[in-house]
């Protein structure tokens, strides 16, 4: 999940361009950072820790600059965070510098082979084999471009690579199962793991496909598939540089929580006809009716998938949500009439891509529900539905989860309409009102007060039933991600089957109770169970079920449909997690051990 940035043609601004790009990529990793300049000589500087450590070091390093360079911010896989494990990595003679995102699966065999040849490694990483392989090809007399491609051919696994070679005014890049995108700005060219790295300079991009490599030279770039040049289409992304700033908020996460009303409007725009009482999804015009739907996803996206699967089952369509990491190794039975939906914010999640590819090989139709136009999932699937949330920089997903839920409602209505289930005007009206209701929750939330009173617990439980259950799971995940406190989400009815043994007076329980149906009343019964054990109860409710009479505190949401009530409850739980982490002085946007786009399995 590391971040890569490279640029050529920026002249004397190269160093600041690389540092700015790395700053914009810190959500992909922040264990260490480094940059290398190419050209007549290759120079490298790298430091453990956050980017500021590298910047301070560069201020004391004389004559460290150049007209082309590559940079890297690391999320550790092989070897702990340290200066020596930081990227870029070099060969022994200092002729080649390489940055890498992904995992080289055959690195140990390559490392053993190179050791036999006399190579002494200076890091614990799998990535270090790459510059040594390139150097061996240079020693054999191959020109730099051929040396690079010959080295890449030796690699098994996932990789996005960028390399510079002494005496060569070029950046060499290659991609396999880890994202790489080229940015084009006149004489300047960029390469990065993600568009925000260079968004302040250009919005014109070219996406590399698996197996392709590219050579960036001053004023031009060429993409190859094997030995043959490939004609690539330059696309313009819609995101603006302003969208990737904090806009005065203390943290990206808080900004993105408050951006949810706008994100939801963007998601719905052009897809909901309130007067006609129907949903219109141009991207899915050619999607035929499935006999069954399987969702594959990870983390937050898996919770969104659980929500959507329940909606489809309620509508009479067989549906199931699977953890993508499990599905890829043992897929469920599928037929040509099965639709497999990959829910992935980035469109680059390695486990989800593997699951989608396995489903495709087995004959299923595939659909990517993602935030990133041109992402790998969007390009590889038969269909793509974009959530249109805009860039999300905070590692803990907030507005993308809410937008996923809305987009999944649109997808469900599209699929169930095809099977003869009537769409309801009440849902359309509720979705139209949702952005304004989210804003109401943001304006009126008492989450900070709840945290002041109950934030010192030694464990935190989140419970719910039906559509509130995935929201409870997501509330617990968000809480543990950024507070580092123990939190668990449960189906409310499961408390008495084990978890109740953990409940004490120091275990605040957040109970999501919406509506006043049988599920709500049964959840109130579960609230009474924990109340009788002395646990404080915080009810997240629309006030229809009277659960507040049994609660120690209440987080209110507006009254609406069951589908959208769950989404509103989610916003309250996001705020609970944020305010708790803020009080604990956590690094909210960059939680320890985590990264935004999980591109390794």
Q: For residue 171, count other CB atoms closer than 10 A to its CB.
A: 25
Q: From the candidates 23, 232, 480, 596, which is the catalytic residue? A: 596
Sign of the torsion angle spanned by Cα atoms 260, 265, 266, 271: positive
Contact predicate 257/578, CB 8 Å: yes
Q: Is 2 a catalytic residue?
A: yes
Q: Is 596 a catalytic residue?
A: yes
Structure tokens at 44: 């490298």
Alpha-helix residue ranges (DSSP H) falling in 201-272: 252-258, 260-268
Maximum Cα interatomic distance, the chain, rounded to a whole number of Å: 80
Structure tokens at 543: 């006030």
Contact predicate 191/173, CB 8 Å: yes
Contact predicate 391/196, CB 8 Å: yes
| 3-class secondary-structure state, position 100 | strand
Alpha-helix residue ranges (DSSP H) falling in 39-195: 51-59, 107-116, 129-139, 144-152
CA separation for the pair 208, 481 (Å, rounded): 32
Q: Three-state SS across 60-120?
A: CCCCCCCCEEEEEEECCCCCCCCCCCCCCEECCCCCEEEEEEEEECCHHHHHHHHHHCCCC
Q: Please list the residues that pair with 181 across neighbouring strands.
A: 192, 207
CA separation for the pair 244, 327 (Å, rounded): 34
Q: Three-state SS across 311-327?
A: HHHHCCCCEEEEEHHHH
Phi, psi of 159, rounded to the nearest 5 degrees: -160, 140
Structure tokens at 214: 């590219």
Q: From the candidates 2, 7, 267, 381, which is the catalytic residue? A: 2
Q: What residues are labeled active site?
A: 2, 596
């Amino acid at each position: 999940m590391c971040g890569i940035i490279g640029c050529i043609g920026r002249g004397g601004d190269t160093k600041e361009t690389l540092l700015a790009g790395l700053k914009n990529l810190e959500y992909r990793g922040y264990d260490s950072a480094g940059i290398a300049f190419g050209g007549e000589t290759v120079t490298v500087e790298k430091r453990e820790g956050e980017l500021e450590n590298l910047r301070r070091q560069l201020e004391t390093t004389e004559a460290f600059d150049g007209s082309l360079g590559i940079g890297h911010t690391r999320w550790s896989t092989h070897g702990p965070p340290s200066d020596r494990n930081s990227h870029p990595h070099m060969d022994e003679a200092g002729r080649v510098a390489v940055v890498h995102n992904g995992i080289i699966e055959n690195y140990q065999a390559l490392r053993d082979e190179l050791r036999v040849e006399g190579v002494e490694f200076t890091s614990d990483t799998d990535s270090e084999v790459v510059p040594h392989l390139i150097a061996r090809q240079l020693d054999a007399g191959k020109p730099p471009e051929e040396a690079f491609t010959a080295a890449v051919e030796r690699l098994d696994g996932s990789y996005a690579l960028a390399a510079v070679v002494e005496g060569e005014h070029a950046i060499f890049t290659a991609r396999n199962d880890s994202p790489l995108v080229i940015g084009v700005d006149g004489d300047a060219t960029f390469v990065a793991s993600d568009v925000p790295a260079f968004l302040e300079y250009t919005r014109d991009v070219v996406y590399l496909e698996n197996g392709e490599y590219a050579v960036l030279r001053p004023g031009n770039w060429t993409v190859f598939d094997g030995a043959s040049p490939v004609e690539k289409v330059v696309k313009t992304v819609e995101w603006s540089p302003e969208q990737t700033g904090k806009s005065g908020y203390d943290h990206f996460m808080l900004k993105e929580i408050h951006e949810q009303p706008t994100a939801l409007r963007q998601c719905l725009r052009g897809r909901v006809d309130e007067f006609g009482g129907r949903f219109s999804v141009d991207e899915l015009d050619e999607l035929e009716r499935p006999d069954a739907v399987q969702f594959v996803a990870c983390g937050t996206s898996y919770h969104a998938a659980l929500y959507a699967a329940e909606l489809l089952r309620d509508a009479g369509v067989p549906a199931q949500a699977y953890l993508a990491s499990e599905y890829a190794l043992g897929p469920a039975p599928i037929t040509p009439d099965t639709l497999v939906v990959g829910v992935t914010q980035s469109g680059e999640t390695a486990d989800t891509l593997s699951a989608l590819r396995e489903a495709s090989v087995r004959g299923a139709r595939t659909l990517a529900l993602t935030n990133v136009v041109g992402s790998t999932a969007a390009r590889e699937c038969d269909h793509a539905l974009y959530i249109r949330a805009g860039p999300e920089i905070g590692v803990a997903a907030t507005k993308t989860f809410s937008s996923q839920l809305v987009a999944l409602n649109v997808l469900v209505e599209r699929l169930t309409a095809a099977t003869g289930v009537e769409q309801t005007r009440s849902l359309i009206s509720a979705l139209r009102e949702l952005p304004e209701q989210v804003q109401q929750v943001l304006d009126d939330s008492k989450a900070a007060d709840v945290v002041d009173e109950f934030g010192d617990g030694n464990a935190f439980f989140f419970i719910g039933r039906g559509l509130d259950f995935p929201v409870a799971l997501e509330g617990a995940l968000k809480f543990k991600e950024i507070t580092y406190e123990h939190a668990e989400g449960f189906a409310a009815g499961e408390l008495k089957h084990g978890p109740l043994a953990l409940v004490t007076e120091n275990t605040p329980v957040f109970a999501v109770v919406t509506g006043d149906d049988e599920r709500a009343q049964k959840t109130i019964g579960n609230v009474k169970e924990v109340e009788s054990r002395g646990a404080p109860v915080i009810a997240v409710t629309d006030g229809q079920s009277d659960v507040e009479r049994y609660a120690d505190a209440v987080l209110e949401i507006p009254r609406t449909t069951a589908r959208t009530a769950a989404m509103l409850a989610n916003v309250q739980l996001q705020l609970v997690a944020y305010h708790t982490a803020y009080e604990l002085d956590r690094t909210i946007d960059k939680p320890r051990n985590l990264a935004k786009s999980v591109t390794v399995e």
